[in-house]
Structure 1
Amino acid sequence: MNYESATFENDGRLALPGSGAPRSNLIWWIVGAVVVLLLAVAAWFAFGFGKKPEEKHVEQLPNVTVMIPGTTLVPRVLSATGSLAARREMPVGVAGEGGMVTRVLVEPGQWVGAGQVLATVDRSVQTQTAASLAAQISVARSDAAIAQSELNRAQQLVNRGFISKADLERKAATRDAALARVRVAQATLSEQNARTGRLDIRAPAAGLVLTRSVEPGQIVSSGSGVLFRMAKGGEMEMLAALSETDLAGLGVGVRAKVTPVGGKESFAGEVWQVSPIIDPQTRQGTARIALTYNPALRPGGFAAAEITSGAATSPQLPESAVLSDDRGNFVYVIGQDDKVVRRDVKVGAVSDSGVAVASGLAGTERVVVSAGAFLNPGQKVTPIVAKSAAKTGS
């Protein structure tokens, strides 16, 4: 350094060569540098630190209410459909030779007693025939009376020796023949009266008249077919069609509830006969449910039945939990990874308490209670467990 060229300021500080620039310029340089630095920091925060290299979208999983149904004792209820009929239907036709119907004395829906006349047939010819036969009886009796008198006189004369014993025997035979003719005439008249009586169309037993197919003036005979149909004692039944699997566990005396189509009232009955055969075409059999008479039970009508046959332990779900498609009934269960899994089930009895699951569930699964139609198999959800109304069986 050339110390000879250095000079000192008035305050004693060293004055460097070229330092004669004003102090104000140095201050402005410092301020500018600070401003630039602040702008650089602001830009780094705005475009560097504030922006993540790869911003990830957080997926919002749907909340799904599930329940663990457990198992409960559910009555085994078989649902069936079928037709109503008279338990013992009695077709009534012409028992005799027939003729022209003169009167019809009953209407459908009317109760009748055993042997009551339902309709009468003209009997004018039969009446005359019976009168003729009655006259023949009178003639035969007269002949028998004369023969008896002659026999009595012959018995008195044979002791005196006026007639022989052979003549007496002939007169006894004549008397016996006359009495036989009387009996024949009486039997013929009885037969004719029976034939005449069969012209009346009568009820074979007490019951309810279901149909009437005859009117006054109609000519009827033994080939005319059924003129009346009756229900013996008014007893009714339902012919319930059931699969062979359901029939296997069904016995006589099981209670049932029958509801005719179009009506809201149900009628109590019981199974009184189970079909011993299965239709090879439909693979179904018939359970006959006995019912007491009621005007709402009309033979030939259609009805639905619920047959209570024992009880079974099975899971029970709300109706909203059970879905169906072309593959059948199913539910959605939530697996260990909280993913939706389809589970095919077989539905049992349906009651006010819910739907019993006959097979497909153990009762320990987390089953989607509702909104299953909006879920897809494999979808991940957030399960929320609801309290089950069913009691776990032992």
Structure 2
Amino acid sequence: MTMRPHALLAPGLLLLGLAACSGGEETTVPAGEEAGPDLSGLAIETAEARATQGVPLGTVPGQVSLPPEARVAVTPPFPGAAIRVYVIEGQAVSRGAPLALVRAAEPVSISADLARARSQVGLAEARSTRMEQLASEGIIAQARADEAAAELQQARATLAEAQRMAAISGTGPDGSMTLRSPISGRVAHVGVETGGPVDGMEAPFVIEAGGPFRIDLQLPERLARQVRPGMAVEVQLPTGVDGQTMPVGGQILSVAPSIDPQTRSVMAKASIGAAPGLVSGQNVMVTISGSGDGTGVSVPSTAVTRIGGEDHVFVRHGESFMPRAVQVVANAGGEAVIAEGLVAGEVVATSAITELKAASAE
């Protein structure tokens, strides 16, 4: 894109006949636009608007959130006391990583029940074997051997239940149990302190998965009928290096069927991949690509400014510049994509924008 300095008229010739200023040739000002400001002695860099294809539908505000399945609560099987807490909020954890060591009284009784069940199975096995032998020798009735076999089956069932409870508790002989992360992700909530109680009805830990995020979008009324599920979206995240950004892509998941009567906007949801610097609750600007078959122009981002709540550029007319409202649909990588208000070939100011705004307001 061509960048060149442009000097305005000499002092004292503000908003005078442009024909005399341009060597006798009359400069035509488009209908509906007033002659722009003329700042003497001010060097202004300019750029020519270039035609571009695949203009997105628009850029809208959005807020990053987590999908419903991304949060997992970690609860202990039994209430107890936290002996040690191993993590803090915001810490990254892998699946199976220890979160806390908890000691409870109930697992101790479970261990005792397990020991008794094992002993009862041993006794029932020995009695059943003895009764079966006596019945085979005709010393006792077979019914008594059958009763002993039934008692053995009952003892084995009790042992299996005790083993299952012991496995669920995951406790040691002293009733201690280690709470572990069920997924890889980030610790979003720590609700227990060392020495504090751990209630089996409340989750002392919440883990957030590190997968894709959701973005809640607010579509203006003009885009309500154009945006459809499946359309591509893009978010530009700052990299922290010389103002550079990194694009993160996703797609529209759903669009609300009605318009909010107060905001005159439509709510939509999009999915976007995880990326460094992207966190839940963050406000971002989302570019909706749509079908990618639109046309428009691109200019340096420095050419665009806000006047009266709308985007404007200062377009050169002869030796002066005039503000013009434009519709910016994307702004990334130092380039602003304009869908309406500017055509290819027109020249806009890319520097001294503050001075131009001040002069145009006089």
Global fold match (TM > 0.5): yes
Contact 1:89–1:229 under 8 Å retained in 2:
no
CA distance in 1, matches of 2:91, 2:334: 43
Counterparts in 2 of 1:74 and 1:301: CA distance versus 1, 3 Å = same
Kindly provide the CA deviation profile for residues 228-258 of structure 1, in whole angstroms up to 9, marking residues without a partner as x: 23232x3353625241517706735554422
> In the alignment, what sits opposite 1:287?
270
In the alignment, structure 1 residue 186 sits paired with structure 2 residue 190: no
Of the three residues 148, 159, 165, the one matched with 1:175 is 148
Query: What code does the residue aligned with 1:192 have?
Result: M
In the alignment, structure 1 residue 228 sits paired with structure 2 residue 205: yes
Counterparts in 2 of 1:253 and 1:318: CA distance versus 1, 3 Å = closer
> In the alignment, what sits opposite 1:61?
17
CA distance in 1, matches of 2:102, 2:148: 41
CA distance in 2, matches of 1:111, 1:222: 24
Query: What code does the residue aligned with 1:97 have?
Result: F
Please show how residues 329-344 of structure 1 align to structure 2 within 5 Å.
Answer: 329=311, 344=325
Counterparts in 2 of 1:189 and 1:360: CA distance versus 1, 3 Å = same
Offset of 1:304 from its aligned partner?
A: 4.2
Contact 1:96–1:221 under 8 Å retained in 2:
no
In the alignment, structure 1 residue 313 sits paired with structure 2 residue 295: yes
Q: Secondary structure at the match of 2:108?
A: helix
Of the three residues 82, 107, 113, the one matched with 1:101 is 82
Count of aligned pairs: 303
> In the alignment, what sits opposite 1:139?
120
CA distance in 2, matches of 1:129, 1:327: 69
Of the three residues 176, 180, 184, the one matched with 1:202 is 180
Please show how residues 299-310 of structure 1 align to structure 2 within 5 Å.
Answer: 299-306=280-287, 310=292
Calculate percent identity across the aligned residue pairs.
Answer: 22
Kindly provide the CA deviation profile for residues 351-372 of structure 1, in whole angstroms up to 9, marking residues without a partner as x: 57764432245558x7775858
Offset of 1:171 from its aligned partner?
A: 1.7
CA distance in 2, matches of 1:286, 1:214: 34
> In the alignment, what sits opposite 1:79?
59
Kindly provide the CA deviation profile for residues 110-160 of structure 1, in whole angstroms up to 9, marking residues without a partner as x: 443333432232134422332244224313431331232122122122xxx
> In the alignment, what sits opposite 1:215?
193
> In the alignment, what sits opposite 1:154?
135
Counterparts in 2 of 1:168 and 1:114: CA distance versus 1, 3 Å = farther
Gaps of 5+ in 2: 1-14, 30-45, 172-176
Kindly provide the CA deviation profile for residues 319-356 of structure 1, in whole angstroms up to 9, marking residues without a partner as x: 78767543845678899xx9999865433334577644
Contact 1:270–1:291 under 8 Å retained in 2:
no
Please show how residues 358-369 of structure 1 align to structure 2 within 5 Å.
Answer: 358-361=339-342
In the alignment, structure 1 residue 112 sits paired with structure 2 residue 89: no
Q: Secondary structure at the match of 2:141?
A: helix
Larger radius of gyration: 1
> In the alignment, what sits opposite 2:104?
123
- Is 183-192 or 340-349 further displaced after alignment? 340-349
> In the alignment, what sits opposite 1:5?
none
CA distance in 2, matches of 1:352, 1:266: 7
The structure with the greater share of residues assigned to strand is: 2
Contact 1:69–1:315 under 8 Å retained in 2:
no
Query: What CA RMSD, in Å, does the superposition of the two structures yield over aligned residues?
Result: 4.5
CA distance in 1, matches of 2:359, 2:323: 13
Contact 1:274–1:286 under 8 Å retained in 2:
yes
The structure with the greater share of residues assigned to helix is: 1
Offset of 1:186 from its aligned partner?
A: 0.6
Query: What code does the residue aligned with 1:215 have?
Result: E
Counterparts in 2 of 1:323 and 1:237: CA distance versus 1, 3 Å = closer
CA distance in 2, matches of 1:266, 1:340: 31
Gaps of 5+ in 1: 1-58, 158-162, 377-394
> In the alignment, what sits opposite 2:40?
none
Query: What code does the residue aligned with 2:72 have?
Result: P
